[in-house]
A and B are shown apart, each in its own frame.
Chain A
Amino acid sequence: QSELTQPPSASGAPGQRVTISCSGSNSNVGSNFVNWYRQVPGTAPQLLIYNNNQRPSGVPDRISGSKSGTSAYLAINGLKSEDEASYFCSVWDDSLNGRVVFGGGTRLTVL
């Protein structure tokens, strides 16, 4: 069981907005930067958001990240079929001498 809790699934119709949550604790989300990845089955993860809300070059601005307390959020506006994938949050956790933890992942279905 991961230290970061994500809903196992989410869905939305093309054009809609979807938000995925990542719930942690004071030792991880509450005190460190959160990152988000997209993974299409059979491929490597792709960085979508780093440092809570920063987008790497090439990631469209319809994808955004935010954080409040011990929870972080990934929002995708204007859903497209290509957004159908699994999404993972990651963060440094200060407990157990420190390590990176990932959320369990959220499988997004575009209806």
Chain B
Amino acid sequence: EVQLVQSGAEVKKPGESLKISCQAFGYSFRSYWIGWVRQMPGKGLEWMGVIYPGDSGTRFSPLFQGHVTLSVDKSTGTAYMQWNSLKASDSAIYFCARGDGNNWGSYDYWGQGSPVTVSS
């Protein structure tokens, strides 16, 4: 069974760093893209970017380029998203999702979401 299991809720202060994870089960991790989507409280979905575990190639939305870093650990089948300096406006739920790369907006399996709260 395909599953994406994300790390738990985080509470951070502005300026702190954070790395959240998304571990894949039940399929060939290297063969599918992992996309990341932000959902701010009570709002819609925003596409942040994708990473291809096979070669760690990435593609970012201009809105998020330079603000987050995407990486993978192929040995554990885990994708990561990292911030070096959080802002209060980064408070949101972050979803990872699996895509095949043929249709960039199509993601067939999703993680449960990682809530992030940034507050002083």
Contact = CB atoms under 8 A, between A and B. Distances in A.
Interface of A: 2, 32-35, 37, 39, 43-47, 50-51, 56, 88, 90-92, 96-105
Contact of A105 (B44, B104, B112): B44
A48 B62 CA distance: 27
8 contacts: A45-B110, A47-B107, A50-B103, A50-B108, A88-B45, A92-B103, A102-B46, A103-B44
A100 B105 contact: yes
Interface residues of B, number: 23
A44 B105 contact: no
A88 B44 contact: yes
A94 B95 CA distance: 23
B53 interface: no
Q: Chain A interface mostly helix, strand, loop or mixed?
A: strand
Contact of A90 (B45, B63, B95, B110): B45
B47 interface: yes
Contact of A47 (B37, B60, B104, B106): B106
Contacts of A47: 106-108
A97 B62 contact: yes
A110 to B, nearest CB: 21
Contact of B44 (A46, A91, A97, A104): A104
B103 A35 contact: yes
Contacts of A45: 37, 45, 95, 97, 107, 110
